[in-house]
Amino acid sequence: MSSSAHPPATVPPTAHRPVSALSAAHRPATVLLTALAPAAWGTTYIITTELLPPGHPLFAGLMRSLPAGLAGLALTRVLPRGDWWWKAVVLGLLNIGGMPLLFVSAERLPGGVAATLGAVQPLLVAGLALLVLRDRPTPWRLAWGVLGVAGVGLVVLGPDARLDAVGLLAGLGHTATMAGGVVLTRRWGRPPGVGPLALAGWQLTVGGLLLLPVTLAFEGVPERIDAGAAGGYLWLGSMGGLIAYTLWFRGIATLPVGAIAPLVLLSPLVATAIGVTRGESLSPAQACGFALSLAALLAAQLNPPHHGRSTSPMTSALTIAVLGATGTVGSRITAEAAARGHRVLALARKPASGHPAVTPVPLDAADPDAVRRALTDSGAHAVVLALRTYPADEDFLVGVTRTVLDTAAGLGIRVLVIGGAGALRTPGIPDLLLADNPAYVPAELRPVAAAGVAQLRACRAHAHPDWTYLSPPALLEPGTRTARYRRGTDTLLTTPDGRSRISAEDLAAAAVDELEQPGMDRHFTVVQAAPE
């Protein structure tokens, strides 16, 4: 990790690969894998109406959740710890416990009406994300969310669509609980060392246990379960249950919340496609709606064309606010920026300045109002957040980061976050963060690494379009300024001798370089370059 107390890590030779190519391929693959979840859920309508015994939505929800959850627990052998016991219960109630409502709506409403209610989820997610994550929906994604609902409506609604009050309430209830589950899953993330399969197993088990007594009390077991129904329950519990939710939670942890929610549009589109394969035809209006929904889904994966982070050079003198200006990295960024002719505001509890271009600003970073006032009055072009706490204080770090992003968004200034190496991907194993890899992060540094990961997630969940997260390599310590470094993206880089290190002085040079000449990557890392 980024500490002089942690020895440099050695990466196996097989891990050397073009990092940029790996990163470019990672997001599309993640989107496609995540999309398999709502695609699988789109088969619920045909499975429910054609295979399952009627009148047993609670039992269907139970069979979709409890066996799958127990299988997940058996495969991972990981149980929640600490506050994750109650968090797992809350998430299980939202993501899984509302599942019978889906079967109620599927039974009482035409598939098209139920699907349209589900298509409202991206808009509900946008509203909840604003309240819980302070993630302001961009007009781009909000507009496409509305168009996505309209598109689904054109596809699946017709003049003969019957509206049942109970079915409507059930469909809206399921959509609302799933939206809440998405936002809270994004807010809480996963405990260190816990993968998406374990998280899915916890929630499916919780949801199943909550449904078990209710099902036995109000419905019981269907009198007859034939081979078709058994196959339907097996499909819903496997592909529609454990596999789908594992992929879904994996996607929530890595994709922007505004991009993942519209993927639920795939559910009604898949249901429609299944109908076409069974001999149904699409009218011109339905075909236009299908295309519109697909366009909305794809457009949500793109950054708004006029709201992306600026990549224009800022080589003239800047005013840079450095929060944490007396720390190992913050002090060197302050010195580096001042030496290049920039005006620096050194924000710290007890700032000091021996340079005429550096203005000390006493500040307690734990006071959100003080942070807002300091940045508002600074006239800064950019703010560098270079804070770390030992021992780790994740809530403090995430809270300060959100305060800085909130304020910077209102002022229209850039934010450069000096984060942790734990947020980087393991070379050769892109799905494994360094924070979860004991080969890089020993147990005593795990809380520090987890705090850095949470900080990056807070950045990704925020609506401010102009932030960058710089992860140092595995070893960061004071040293010599050479201004020679190699830049990568979100995967750990190494030197030719297999180590991953950089001096704090060269990290500061890379940080000021990024402010002067912004790169294209939201998350990047650097490593010491080989001597010439």
**How many Å apart are CA 253 and CA 433, to the nearest integer?**
12
Q: How many helices (H) and strands (E) does the chain have?
A: 20, 12
Structure tokens at 348: 């710290």
Coil vs helix vs strand at 12: coil
Tens-digit pLDDT profile for the chain (532 aa)? Answer: 443 333 333 333 333 323 333 233 346 777 888 889 888 888 887 888 889 988 888 888 889 889 999 999 999 998 988 888 999 899 888 888 776 676 676 666 655 555 556 666 666 676 776 677 555 566 666 676 777 767 766 665 555 555 566 766 777 777 788 788 888 887 777 776 678 899 899 999 998 898 899 889 888 888 889 999 999 999 998 998 899 989 988 887 666 666 677 787 777 778 777 877 877 666 787 678 777 777 776 776 665 443 344 444 554 688 999 999 999 999 999 999 999 989 999 999 888 777 888 999 999 988 888 898 888 888 888 999 999 877 888 999 999 999 999 888 888 889 999 999 999 999 888 889 999 998 888 888 899 999 999 999 999 988 888 899 999 999 999 999 988 898 988 999 987 777 889 999 999 999 999 998 888 888 999 998 866 5
Structure tokens at 471: 């992860």
Sign of the dihedral through C-alpha 169, 171, 172, 175: positive
486 - beta bridge partners? 527
166-169's contacts with Cβ under 8 Å and 24+ in sequence apart are 166/104, 166/108, 167/104, 167/105, 167/107, 167/108, 167/109, 167/113, 167/114, 168/105, 168/109, 168/113, 168/117
Taking CA 45 as the corner, what is the angle to CA 42 and CA 46, rounded to the nearest 5 degrees? 100
